[in-house]
Amino acid sequence: MLYANIVGQQEAKGRLLKMVRESRVPHALLFSGKEGSGNLPAALAFAQHLYCKQPTSYGSCGSCISCNKVAKLIHPDLHFVFPIAKSKDVKSSNDLIKEFREAFLHQPYLSLNDWFSELNAENKQPIIPVEESNDILRKLSYTSYEGTYKIMLIWQPEKMNAEAANRLLKILEEPPEQTIFILVTTQPDQLLATILSRVQQIPFYSCTEKEITDALITNYKVNPEVARQTAMLANGNYGEALTLLTHNDESVSFLNNFQSFMRLALKFDCNKAIAWIDENAATGREKQKQFFQYGLEVFRDSLMYNFGNKDLVRLSGHEKLFLEKFAPFITQKNYEKLVEEFNNNYYYIERNANPKILFMDLILKTNELINLK
**Which residues contact Zn ion by CB under 5 A?**
52, 60-61, 64, 67
Tell me the closest approach of the beta carbon of residue 68 to Zn ion, in angstroms.
8
Nearest distance from C-beta of residue 50 to Zn ion, angstroms: 10
Residue 207 contacts residue 33 (beta carbons within 8 Å): no
**Cβ 262 to Zn ion, closest distance in Å?**
54
Q: What is the DSSP letter of 84?
A: B
Encode 201-227: b = buried (16+ Cβ within 10 Å), e = exposed.
Answer: ebebebbebebbbbbbbeeeebeeebb
Of 52 and 363, the one with the shorter C-beta distance to Zn ion is 52
Q: Between 72 and 318, name the residue whose CB sits nearer to Zn ion.
A: 72
What is the smallest separation between the CB atom of 52 and Zn ion, expressed in angstroms?
3
Residue 243, class by beta-carbon neighbours within 10 Å (0-12 exposed, 13-18 middle, 19+ buried)?
Answer: buried
- What is the closest distance, in whole angstroms, from the C-beta atom of residue 47 to Zn ion in the complex? 11
Specify the residue, 67 or 153, whose C-beta has the smaller distance to Zn ion.
67
d(CA 45, CA 60): 8
Could you tell me how many residues make up the chain?
Answer: 373
The residues facing 203 across adjacent strands are 32
Cross-strand bridge partners of residue 155: 184
CB of 60 to Zn ion, least distance (A): 5
Q: Whose Cβ is closer to Zn ion: residue 67's or residue 277's? A: 67
Residue (66 or 280) nearer to Zn ion, CB = 66
Q: Residue 67 or 296: which CB sits closer to Zn ion? A: 67
The DSSP result for 325-353, as a single string, is HHGGG--TTTHHHHHHHHHHHHHHHHTT-
